[in-house]
């Protein structure tokens, strides 16, 4: 091998980066390369697509487009507030029609109905209507709204069918109005998002910008429904945006704030569930919240398992899924006959849980009956939200726990349990904390809520692979990760991973001189910079092009110099660029190996960077996660302790 390399022309001396010495580029050491499933991406003869120029680094990538999106988002926030009002009125209308046979839009509870045993038929009729709407209207109205919004963002490019904006609120109002044990938040998230997406589809926007407006509509509807602008924004970020970028967060937050401000005039002011203020400092008694959370763990796990089992049971039935909501309605009707407080949205029951002392028998009925009928109805495919049922079951669980825990005031333990169940089930701890605070305006609950929600979140993360909100997405064959971290490609630069021990071939070299080298030396370098007599780069050539020319020369019997096959003006990378910029450039151009040049002198070659080099950033991240080491030796502790005892003055 050494004899072979000695016969080959040596690589050119390339000017060093500081201009003082010469950096010697050795002959190529050719080895394994990355096989790309999309064809020969290593070629340089592909037309570049929108390759960006010099990138000015900053901690954010937001540009002036956020101003336009924010203006549009404010309008979507106004629209979402009226959509929320319409949905609440529709729920009130169908509740009055189904249970009291009158035309009224007031949002009331079906508890005081006079139907007797016929109340069992009401949810069945509602389930039949919803099933027909799902089959002949749109199947996407099934479910509680949030998974459908997630699916629209991840799978459909933030495009929502326009008819869904009308069928979803109508079907949800029929389902809840006929006694379905759901809340209005899921449908309003999907409906507000549908209107936001529909408006965005009329504009010339990217998929990411459509996502921002879809989520803005969802957050606006949530904010107007619950008078919770901050909680709605956090829910949008944690469950829908999957990112913390200002160019998405700003429009969403403005839409949420606009809808909350408008709610004051068209729906009414908050809070939705006012409570008496509790003590600012509760001392060590807050630790008892851990016991309550431990009780909540069992409920969370049982709820998840029951939902899965019910879904499997419905799938085994020899009937069309259109009839599943009606069968689920039978269970809901029987539950309503036994315990009518479990029917409907249950906002009045939640207000009683946090504002009054409720007998244990009633709390047990709320917890058990609501839990069973909600799990069955949810898996039957009917339409409705999950947040209100979670709040009700969490409040009932907390009320039962308050019989054994220290007395911290009316509604204290129900509020703690609400936040724990909400944050743990949705895997959104910040949403669970802030949402409960905004529903009650009881800021003194912040510290115990942080403790309870954090423990519940930690337990569900360790014991459950997916949540109720993301399970439908996974059943479609998609994997959703909700861990936010800085990409390692963002913090490393080209200079950290580029190769400098490369081959730069002289332009005067004949192709036949490379023949024996390519037949005996392992293949590692797929791109070869071509340098002139002064050592500056004039272009590049790929290994595939060289081999093709060698075959043609063998047939023709002539000699070809590298200058005849060189590709001038190749796509390059700069040593001070973040790796994420290079990755994006590779994706746009289809080229997987770039020469690295000096920004001030593009002909000055510094090295090469390829996809294999970019993997070094991933290796670094893996080492950070998996490599364990003790930085400071344990003997240092004993050494410091010995020195401290020696330096301590002697008492006399």
Cis status, amide bond into 271, omega within 30 of 0 = yes
* Predicted local distance difference test score (pLDDT) of residue 113: 87
What is the per-residue DSSP string for 484-543? ----HHHH-BHHHH-B-S---EETT-BGGGGHHHHHHSPP---EEEEE-TTS-EEEEEEH
Task: In whole angstroms, give the CA distance from residue 116 to residue 125.
Answer: 16
More confident residue, 223 or 545: 223
Q: Kindly tell me if the per-residue pLDDT of 314 is higher than 90.
A: no
Q: Which pTM value belongs to this model?
A: 0.78
Mean predicted confidence (pLDDT) in 276-280: 73
Task: In whole angstroms, give the CA distance from residue 622 to residue 194.
Answer: 39
Q: Looking at the chain, which residues constitute the CATH 1.10.3080.10 domain(s)?
A: 65-266, 283-475
* Predicted local distance difference test score (pLDDT) of residue 405: 78
* Predicted local distance difference test score (pLDDT) of residue 219: 92
Q: How confident is the model at residue 93 (pLDDT cuts 50, 70, 90)?
A: very high
* Predicted local distance difference test score (pLDDT) of residue 98: 93
Task: In whole angstroms, give the CA distance from residue 420 to residue 223.
Answer: 21
Residue 321 DSSP label: G
More confident residue, 186 or 26: 186
Burial class (CB in 10 A: 0-12, 13-18, 19+), 135: middle
CA distances from 512 to 519, 547, 565 (A): 12, 10, 13
CA 599 to chain centre: 37
More confident residue, 45 or 576: 576
Q: How confident is the model at residue 8 (pLDDT cuts 50, 70, 90)?
A: very low
- How many CB atoms are located within 10 Å of the residue 7 CB? 9
* Predicted local distance difference test score (pLDDT) of residue 643: 62
Residue 272 DSSP label: S
For the CA atoms of 84, 90, 96, 102, the dihedral, rounded to the nearest 10 degrees, stands at 130
CA 651 to chain centre: 63
Q: Give the tens place of pLDDT for each residue, 100-129.
A: 999 998 888 888 888 888 999 999 999 999
Q: How confident is the model at residue 81 (pLDDT cuts 50, 70, 90)?
A: very high
Q: How confident is the model at residue 645 (pLDDT cuts 50, 70, 90)?
A: low
* Predicted local distance difference test score (pLDDT) of residue 354: 87
Enter the tokens of residue 155: 């799978």
CA distances from 583 to 57, 497, 566 (A): 16, 13, 24
Mean predicted confidence (pLDDT) in 435-442: 90
Residue that is written with structure tokens 């796509």 in the block:
571
Q: Kindly tell me if the per-residue pLDDT of 155 is higher than 60.
A: yes
Q: How confident is the model at residue 232 (pLDDT cuts 50, 70, 90)?
A: very high
Contacts of 419 (CB under 8 A, 6+ apart): 394, 432, 433, 435, 436, 445, 449, 452, 453
Percent share of the chain, pLDDT over 70? 79
Can you list the alpha helix ranges (DSSP code H) found in 537-651? 543-556, 579-589, 611-626, 635-647
* Predicted local distance difference test score (pLDDT) of residue 132: 92
Q: Looking at the chain, which residues constitute the CATH 3.10.580.10 domain(s)?
A: 2-57+490-615
Among 86-90, 248-252, 559-563, 641-645, whose mean pLDDT is lowest?
641-645
- How many CB atoms are located within 10 Å of the residue 277 CB? 12
Mean predicted confidence (pLDDT) in 146-173: 80
Q: Kindly tell me if the per-residue pLDDT of 563 is higher than 80.
A: no
More confident residue, 399 or 144: 399
* CATH number attached to the domain at 283-475: 1.10.3080.10
User: If you average pLDDT over every residue of the chain, what do you get?
Assistant: 78
Superfamily of domain 65-266: Clc chloride channel (1.10.3080.10)
Task: In whole angstroms, give the CA distance from residue 416 to residue 301.
Answer: 18
Q: Kindly tell me if the per-residue pLDDT of 558 is higher than 80.
A: no
Q: Kindly tell me if the per-residue pLDDT of 637 is higher than 90.
A: no
Q: How confident is the model at residue 161 (pLDDT cuts 50, 70, 90)?
A: confident
Q: Kindly tell me if the per-residue pLDDT of 27 is higher than 50.
A: no
Domain 2-57+490-615 has CATH 3.10.580.10: yes
More confident residue, 128 or 29: 128
Q: E strand or H helix at 233, and its extent? A: helix 229-236
CA torsion sign, 53 to 58 to 59 to 65?
Answer: negative
Strand partners, 610: 593
More confident residue, 81 or 239: 81
Among 309-313, 535-539, 559-563, 620-624, whose mean pLDDT is lowest?
309-313
Mean predicted confidence (pLDDT) in 640-644: 62
For the CA atoms of 269, 424, 448, 287, the dihedral, rounded to the nearest 10 degrees, stands at 160
Q: How confident is the model at residue 648 (pLDDT cuts 50, 70, 90)?
A: low
Strand partners, 506: 531
Q: Choose the most confident range, by mean pLDDT, from 1-5, 404-408, 499-503.
A: 499-503
Task: In whole angstroms, give the CA distance from residue 600 to residue 472.
Answer: 53
Task: In whole angstroms, give the CA distance from residue 48 to residue 282.
Answer: 64
Enter the tokens of residue 246: 């200002």
Q: Are strands 13-15 and 22-24 parallel, antiparallel or unpaired?
A: antiparallel
Enter the tokens of residue 126: 């509602």
* Predicted local distance difference test score (pLDDT) of residue 252: 94
* Predicted local distance difference test score (pLDDT) of residue 97: 93
Q: Choose the most confident range, by mean pLDDT, from 352-356, 460-464, 634-638.
A: 352-356
* Predicted local distance difference test score (pLDDT) of residue 260: 93
Task: In whole angstroms, give the CA distance from residue 320 to residue 135.
Answer: 10
What is the per-residue DSSP string for 78-107? HHHHHHHHHHHHHHHHHHIIIII-S-----
Q: Kindly tell me if the per-residue pLDDT of 376 is higher than 60.
A: yes
Mean predicted confidence (pLDDT) in 148-175: 82
Q: Give the tens place of pLDDT for each residue, 465-479.
A: 777 677 666 777 777
Nearest to 123, CA basis, from 304, 374, 364, 350: 374
* Predicted local distance difference test score (pLDDT) of residue 33: 32
């Amino acid at each position: 091998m050494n004899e072979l390399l000695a016969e080959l022309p040596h690589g050119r001396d390339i000017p060093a980066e500081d201009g003082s010495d010469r950096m010697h580029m050795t002959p190529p050491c050719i080895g394994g390369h990355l096989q790309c499933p999309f064809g020969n991406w290593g070629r340089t003869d592909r037309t570049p697509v929108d390759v960006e120029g010099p990138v000015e680094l900053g901690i954010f990538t937001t540009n002036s487009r956020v101003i336009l999106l924010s203006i549009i988002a404010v309008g979507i926030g106004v629209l979402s507030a009226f959509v929320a009002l319409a949905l609440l009125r529709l729920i009130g209308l169908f509740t009055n029609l189904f249970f009291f046979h009158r035309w009224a839009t007031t949002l009331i509870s079906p508890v005081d109905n006079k139907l007797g045993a016929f109340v069992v038929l009401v949810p069945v009729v509602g389930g039949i209507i919803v099933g027909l709407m799902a089959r002949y209207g749109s199947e996407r109205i099934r479910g509680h709204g949030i998974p459908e919004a997630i699916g629209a963002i991840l799978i459909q490019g933030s495009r929502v069918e326009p008819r869904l904006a009308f069928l979803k609120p109508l079907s949800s109002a029929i389902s809840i109005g006929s006694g379905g044990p759901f809340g209005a938040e899921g449908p309003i998230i999907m409906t507000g998002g549908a209107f936001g997406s529909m408006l965005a589809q009329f504009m010339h926007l990217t998929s990411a910008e459509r996502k921002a407006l879809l989520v803005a509509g969802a957050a606006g509807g949530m904010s107007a429904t619950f008078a919770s602008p901050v909680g709605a924004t956090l829910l949008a970020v944690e469950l829908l945006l999957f990112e913390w970028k200002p160019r998405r967060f700003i429009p969403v937050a403005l839409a949420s704030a606009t809808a909350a401000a408008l709610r004051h005039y068209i729906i009414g002011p908050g809070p939705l569930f006012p409570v008496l203020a509790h003590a600012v400092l509760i001392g060590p008694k807050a630790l008892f919240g851990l016991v309550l959370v431990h009780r909540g763990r069992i409920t969370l796990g049982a709820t998840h398992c029951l939902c899965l089992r019910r879904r499997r049971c419905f799938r085994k039935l020899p009937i069309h899924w259109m009839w599943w909501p009606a069968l689920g309605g039978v269970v809901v009707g029987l539950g309503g006959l036994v315990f009518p407080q479990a029917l409907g949205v249950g906002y009045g029951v939640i207000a009683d849980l946090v504002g009054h002392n409720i007998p244990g028998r009633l709390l047990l009925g709320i917890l058990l009956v609501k839990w069973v009928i909600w799990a069955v109805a949810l898996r039957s495919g009917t339409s409705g939200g999950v947040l209100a049922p979670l709040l009700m079951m969490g409040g009932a669980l907390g009320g039962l726990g308050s019989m054994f825990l220290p007395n911290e005031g009316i509604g204290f333990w129900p509020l703690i349990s609400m936040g724990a169940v909400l944050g743990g089930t949705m895997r959104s701890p910040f949403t669970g904390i802030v949402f409960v605070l905004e529903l009650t305006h009881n800021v003194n609950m912040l510290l115990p809520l942080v403790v309870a929600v954090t423990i519940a979140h930690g337990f569900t993360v360790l014991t459950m692979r997916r949540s109720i909100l993301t399970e439908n997405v996974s059943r479609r064959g998609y994997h959703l990760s909700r861990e936010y971290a800085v990409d390692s490609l963002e913090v490393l630069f080209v200079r950290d991973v580029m190769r400098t021990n490369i081959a730069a071939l002289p332009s005067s070299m004949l192709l036949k001189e490379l023949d024996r080298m390519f037949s005996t030396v392992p293949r590692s370098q797929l791109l070869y910079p071509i340098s002139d007599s002064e050592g500056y780069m004039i272009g590049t050539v790929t290994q595939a092009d060289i081999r093709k020319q060698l075959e043609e020369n063998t047939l023709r019997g002539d000699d070809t110099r590298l200058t005849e096959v060189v590709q001038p003006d190749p796509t390059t990378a700069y040593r001070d660029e973040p790796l994420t910029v290079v990755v994006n450039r590779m994706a746009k151009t289809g080229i997987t190996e770039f020469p690295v040049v000096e920004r001030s002198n593009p002909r000055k070659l510094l090295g090469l960077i390829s996809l294999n080099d970019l993997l070094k950033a991933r290796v670094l991240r893996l080492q950070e996660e998996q490599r364990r080491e003790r930085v400071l030796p344990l003997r240092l502790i004993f050494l410091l302790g010995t020195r401290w005892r020696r330096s301590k003055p002697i008492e006399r």
